[in-house]
Structure 1
């Protein structure tokens, strides 16, 4: 496949303010940290085949609504979940969950925050207050609720993806950006590639595994300890940080962790390795 063939259709994008999420922390300890009216969203994902909705119905944080990680937060590239959903699809999903364009959102999962970070990064990129619940489900000591929470649906206007937060393939391969691969080292080095066309990484990318931002208990490292990872991602002469992973979820988590450590918000290469590996562009190992 040629570099300009078969990629994700370009999502409509709009120019936006430099940092529309300024003032809202990317990670919080309690749902109340974003103020009254906050909607709690369960974004658990059945990584081993267990449907996330089944786990949600069996026990979730009180009041939490359910977001389907794969169906709600991705487009499709080559049959795989990757790329950003169309603005109208995202608006329909948020409306179904009772989330207006100014509603604060706190999301959680049971995977260290990587699934929740996908939703949170998307909302923050659109200028909406949103944060990952530190510790996720494991950090909650109270009684879980069962069954479904049915919110009052809202009519939500679609918002274009801001051009200064979303990188396309051309931006990702530009020598003028700091490119960070958020996958584990084995995939970065091409030693293990479970689902995509080719193994390896985009030439010029450095590797910072998103899970290295967490401690042994699955909680985000303090900002001062994250700065070593930030230093790995730095490159002289470029102010633009672009992150990617396999499908874009781990990259979202890494972008939020870097922001927590004091970096300005970076860009997500939305197609990530799923898109890049399907081209005939060079691969590094």
Structure 2
């Protein structure tokens, strides 16, 4: 199922700011560095301080690691169970009847991650193209202070199977001609040419590389569909194949997923734990140039 309306422009958001059914969410998280030898690749820090310093008027804040991830998992940002997500989204006033718009600061990957999560729950959301950076650069109104929130709702999910998969699913499809596995990390990490903060350098064997960074313009908007189509085609990603996306922690790969969805690809899934799990598990094969 393609979703040609997954993106929304700053102009479109500005035009609906007064809509009582609008649910606008800042999804920003920051990955801060940790000392060498640490057990974790980074420290996940919520973007509540930058939200308080400035946000789109009326927006609420969603803490991905704090409320919308499995706290018992070893990896950051692991998809939690449906009940946890229903409760969390309900607390923030979201439900399928609302116009849900997601944005983030610095990179769109935090908002695209929430978009993919909501898609897996059967709920349509839209991502602000260019995020808060573009909104500010255009001189649009900005509000400060803590989130006021929205009235709570009863959020009912209609889960869609297969949008998130685990390491066994990925491993079983290595060498499968009907599947193409795509790494959204940068080419130097895909090729294993630089040390990786996730563990062993390299990639899932046989995977191809379409870096999320190559799908983003200088103004932080996403590239054109024609450019994205060409990049995926050059890597051998075609509509007849099952496509598995991964990255470091299941975040930046959702930029690829949004672009593929916009292009009409429908056999898409995300390896949630990505290299944060794969590179640290010596039982899993890894490939380098």
User: Normalization by structure 2: what TM-score?
Assistant: 0.82
Specify whether residues 51 and 264 from structure 1 end up closer, same or farther in structure 2 by C-alpha distance, changes over 3 A only.
Answer: closer
Question: Cα offset for 1:224?
Answer: 1.1
Question: Cα offset for 1:23?
Answer: 4.8
Specify whether residues 238 and 169 from structure 1 end up closer, same or farther in structure 2 by C-alpha distance, changes over 3 A only.
Answer: farther
| Residues 1:53 and 2:48 aligned together | yes
CA distance in 2, matches of 1:134, 1:159: 26
CA distance in 2, matches of 1:133, 1:36: 18
Matches within 5 A, 1:133-172: 133-140=128-135, 141-147=139-145, 148-157=147-156, 159-160=158-159, 162-172=160-170
Q: Which moved more, 1:77-86 or 1:39-48?
A: 77-86
Specify whether residues 70 and 39 from structure 1 end up closer, same or farther in structure 2 by C-alpha distance, changes over 3 A only.
Answer: same
SS of the equivalent of 2:181 reads strand
Specify whether residues 39 and 281 from structure 1 end up closer, same or farther in structure 2 by C-alpha distance, changes over 3 A only.
Answer: same
Task: Give 5+ residue unaligned stretches, structure 2.
Answer: 33-42
| Residues 1:181 and 2:183 aligned together | yes
| Aligned length in residues | 264
| Residues 1:205 and 2:207 aligned together | yes
Contact 1:183 1:245 in 2 (8 A): yes
Contact 2:122 2:158 in 1 (8 A): no
Contact 1:179 1:205 in 2 (8 A): yes
Contact 1:95 1:156 in 2 (8 A): yes
* Superposition CA RMSD, Å: 2.5
Task: Give 5+ residue unaligned stretches, structure 1.
Answer: 1-18
Q: Give 4+ residue runs of structure 1 displaced > 4 Å after superposition.
A: 235-238
Specify whether residues 277 and 78 from structure 1 end up closer, same or farther in structure 2 by C-alpha distance, changes over 3 A only.
Answer: farther
CA distance in 1, matches of 2:228, 2:128: 18
The counterpart of 1:222, out of the listed 221, 224, 241, is: 224
